[in-house]
Structure 1
Amino acid sequence: MARIEGVLDRNWLTNGGPLVEEFEGEVAAVSGVRHAIATCNGTLALEIAISAAGLAGEVITTPFTFVATAHALRRLGITPVFCDVDPVTHNIDPAQVERLVTPRTTGILGVHLWGRPCAVDELTDIADRHGLRLLFDASHALACSSGGRMIGGFGAAETFSFHATKFVNSFEGGAIVTDDDALAERARLIRNFGFADYDQVRALGTNGKMAEVAAAMGLTSLESRDRFTAVNHQNHAAYRTGLAGVQGIEVVPYDDEELTTRQYVVVEVDETAGLSRDDLQEVLWAENVLARRYFYPGCHRVEPYVTEQDEQRLLMPATDRLAHRLLTLPTGTGVDATDIDVIAGIIERAVELGPLLASALPRRQPAPTPVAPMPSDGQASPE
């Protein structure tokens, strides 16, 4: 509130005020890069980074991500070429990326899902050999590392989201981070309508600026990131303990050798659980536990992509499998060990009664194709 009152006292509400500049400096420091360009949301951060990197034609990306990743490309007239994911890491599979490179390919857009890093070295090698630009959607990965190096400095640029449901939030916001001086300069131009000075427009741009009140929240949130991380680690460990030995339920692990914020608790529900992931979600919702299926049904199966691609392009077996098996559970500072004990107990009991519950729950009709995306709610929209 002191920061917000300062904004009002200064009468400087937007257009690169002192709090935005301070926030950019802090984000750059956390990420170990020279430049952070704050934006009004994570989607525009992606669009601006894509434009500043000069991408066009086709860009290879993952279908197992929030739809903003694909939409940012498509809205700029670029064709997202979906590449299936590694079933273990849940990230884009570099072994399949190279087969998708065509003369129209200009870049690769990876996503560090759950804050677990992509195969950065392999993707960098592919991009270098084919003369492609490499970008990363790092919306889940602020303050995480890959190979001991902070996420933020890989590829030509990476982008963060500071949506209200994120580990660090600015109410709504985003940022582009990079060590590429020229790309950073272009991104700053694009973010502010192409203005290079008071009345000098030097490029095609948009209005992607972060407001001062958002930066006030972002700075305040950053100050608490160590506490947020500690709570998330405790919660993740508590879920792993509480669900250990529950048949058919696996808590997706993080690499203890890397810095991770563990802002997501993801469980994989397999057939041995005796009930489906969707059945388990219905049980949890009935108990007011708002678990969420991510990223159902995959970008390749929502509009406009599902009707634009031939059947062969829709074959994403690893993505389809994960989209029908993964469930995220409540975590963060609003959840404590007692809550987790209750949630784990509900899941354990649901599995014990799996076949009985499955037969009692209403039967869903198979979703038609094309499949509409789920409506967004809070961290259901991990932009």
Structure 2
Amino acid sequence: MGRPTVGDRKRFLERLNGALDRQWLTNGGPLVHEFEDRVAEVAGTRHCVATSNATMALHLLYMATGLSGEVIMPAMTYVATAHAARALGLTPVFCDVDPDTGCIDPRRAEEAVTARTSGIVGVHLWGRPSAIDDLGKVAERHGLRLLFDAAHALGCSYRGRPVGGFGAAEVFSFHATKVVNSFEGGAVVTDDGDLAERLRSLRSFGFGPDGTSQRVGINAKMSEAAAAMGLTSLEAFEETRRHNRVNLDHYAAGLAGVDGVEVVTYDAAQNPNCQYVVIRVDEAVTGIHRDLLMRVLKEENITTQRYFSPACHQVEPYRTERPVVLPHTERLAEQVLALPTGPTVATADIHRVCEVLRCAVGAGPQVTERFRGCEETA
């Protein structure tokens, strides 16, 4: 899947040594504050609250906005979107996605509203923005909080505005796999000053400015070491974005004309970070299932991921507690495969991946029969 975007290692070590010299390693040090300022600048928001990871950022945001009862969200997302709500005693209510974008379908979201619904969480899948305006109208009609899981969407935009300033707040991820990483990390960005203050309190045990507990909080602070990595990786962001765009173009060219394999594309007007190269594999056309194709690639030492499969409503505890059928989500989850990309993936690597894919798809039925025979023998 490629390697983390590290950036200038010398600059990272300078920052880390500075933290060691100051002996200020956590609890809101200067590097964290600088990282928050830089992320807020990218997001076009007044506030950024950095956290230990994006799951904690979601958890804090659900707490800070006072969500209760049911929260509507797409099932086509990483389980953290749902788990962060479930851990607070909330009920994730999954609705179907737009079959073209993979993002939450506002019509299906509105159909899921009940008297117990308190909020809607949109997910910018693979960095492609949700139908933000339509979701806003649904939330307004029903008096609901609108939040966004923007884990994939740093630096992207929607109708000329940076992702980050929509809804009550949005959450970014800075996990090592992301286009900007802080080893592990996350952040909530918002224009709401009162919400930002609650978030800062909640991430530090519920303490107020005077250092005493004002509410029930948790420990979700970002360390200075993580911020040093985040700042250094962020400095390489635009270069990484350009490299990712070139990678995507090479994949699109290399897989052009392969029936049943579609490379997911991005709208240039949305300023995509192209963090993910995702293909959709239609077994009815290729004669080979996505999972088997993934196995063939693995045997060639090519690592891929199913982003996101199975979908959230297909895993525990959700499939048992609240069974639901989501046709578009299930079809998409059955087909998607993320291919290697990032600054360490070269053009020659992409050509090899495409060559293996074309060969496997071209021999689809024979490959399927071969692996079935191996499984029966085993």
TM-score by length of 2: 0.94
Looking at structure 2, the residues matched to 273 and 141 of structure 1 have their Cα atoms a distance apart, in angstroms, of: 31
Looking at structure 2, the residues matched to 225 and 262 of structure 1 have their Cα atoms a distance apart, in angstroms, of: 11
What is residue 75 of structure 2 aligned with on the other side? Answer: 63
1:357 to 355, 367, 370: 367
After TM superposition, the structure 1 = structure 2 runs for residues 186-265 of structure 1, keeping only pairs within 5 Å, are 186-265=198-277
Looking at structure 2, the residues matched to 171 and 198 of structure 1 have their Cα atoms a distance apart, in angstroms, of: 31
What is residue 288 of structure 1 aligned with on the other side? Answer: 301
What is residue 375 of structure 1 aligned with on the other side? Answer: none
For residues 215-259 of structure 1, give each alpha carbon's deviation from its aligned partner in whole angstroms, at most 9, with x where no partner exists: 000000010001100100000000000000011111011002221
For residues 324-375 of structure 1, give each alpha carbon's deviation from its aligned partner in whole angstroms, at most 9, with x where no partner exists: 111000000111110111110111111111110011113799xxxxxxxxxx
Would the alpha carbon gap of residues 111 and 364 (structure 1) be closer, same or farther in structure 2, given more than 3 Å must change? farther
The alignment partner of 1:28 has SS state of helix
Match status 1:149 vs 2:161: yes
For residues 257-316 of structure 1, give each alpha carbon's deviation from its aligned partner in whole angstroms, at most 9, with x where no partner exists: 221100100000112112111111111011011111121111101111111014xxx201
What is residue 194 of structure 2 aligned with on the other side? Answer: 182
Aligned-partner residue type, residue 169 of structure 1: N
The alignment partner of 1:356 has SS state of helix
Aligned-partner residue type, residue 270 of structure 2: E
Aligned-partner residue type, residue 226 of structure 1: E
What is residue 289 of structure 2 aligned with on the other side? Answer: 276
Match status 1:331 vs 2:344: no
Aligned-partner residue type, residue 304 of structure 1: P
The alignment partner of 1:327 has SS state of strand
Aligned-partner residue type, residue 114 of structure 1: W
What is residue 8 of structure 1 aligned with on the other side? Answer: 20
For residues 123-160 of structure 1, give each alpha carbon's deviation from its aligned partner in whole angstroms, at most 9, with x where no partner exists: 00000111000000000000000111100000000001
Aligned-partner residue type, residue 337 of structure 2: L
What is residue 297 of structure 1 aligned with on the other side? Answer: 310
Aligned-partner residue type, residue 24 of structure 1: E
Runs of 4+ off more than 2 Å: 362-365
Would the alpha carbon gap of residues 192 and 364 (structure 1) be closer, same or farther in structure 2, given more than 3 Å must change? farther
What is residue 119 of structure 1 aligned with on the other side? Answer: 131
What is residue 374 of structure 1 aligned with on the other side? Answer: none
| TM-superposed deviation, 1:197 | 2.9
Aligned-partner residue type, residue 332 of structure 2: L
Looking at structure 2, the residues matched to 125 and 363 of structure 1 have their Cα atoms a distance apart, in angstroms, of: 54
Match status 1:80 vs 2:117: no
Looking at structure 1, the residues matched to 71 and 306 of structure 2 have their Cα atoms a distance apart, in angstroms, of: 26
Aligned-partner residue type, residue 319 of structure 1: T
What is residue 381 of structure 1 aligned with on the other side? Answer: none
Question: Quick check: 156-165 or 292-301, which moved more?
Answer: 292-301
* Matched-pair identity in %: 56
Question: Quick check: 355-364 or 27-36, which moved more?
Answer: 355-364
User: Across the two proteins, how many residue pairs are aligned to each other?
Assistant: 362
Question: Quick check: 232-241 or 92-101, which moved more?
Answer: 92-101
Looking at structure 2, the residues matched to 199 and 328 of structure 1 have their Cα atoms a distance apart, in angstroms, of: 45
Would the alpha carbon gap of residues 76 and 364 (structure 1) be closer, same or farther in structure 2, given more than 3 Å must change? farther
User: Over the residues paired in the alignment, what is the CA RMSD in angstroms?
Assistant: 1.1
| TM-superposed deviation, 1:211 | 0.3
Aligned-partner residue type, residue 339 of structure 1: D
| TM-superposed deviation, 1:203 | 1.2
What is residue 278 of structure 2 aligned with on the other side? Answer: 266
| TM-superposed deviation, 1:199 | 3.4
What is residue 341 of structure 1 aligned with on the other side? Answer: 351
The alignment partner of 2:101 has SS state of coil
Looking at structure 2, the residues matched to 256 and 19 of structure 1 have their Cα atoms a distance apart, in angstroms, of: 33
Task: List runs of 5+ in structure 2 lacking aligned partners.
Answer: 1-12
For residues 80-127 of structure 1, give each alpha carbon's deviation from its aligned partner in whole angstroms, at most 9, with x where no partner exists: 000011111000111111111111000001100000000000000000
Looking at structure 2, the residues matched to 55 and 331 of structure 1 have their Cα atoms a distance apart, in angstroms, of: 37
Aligned-partner residue type, residue 346 of structure 1: V
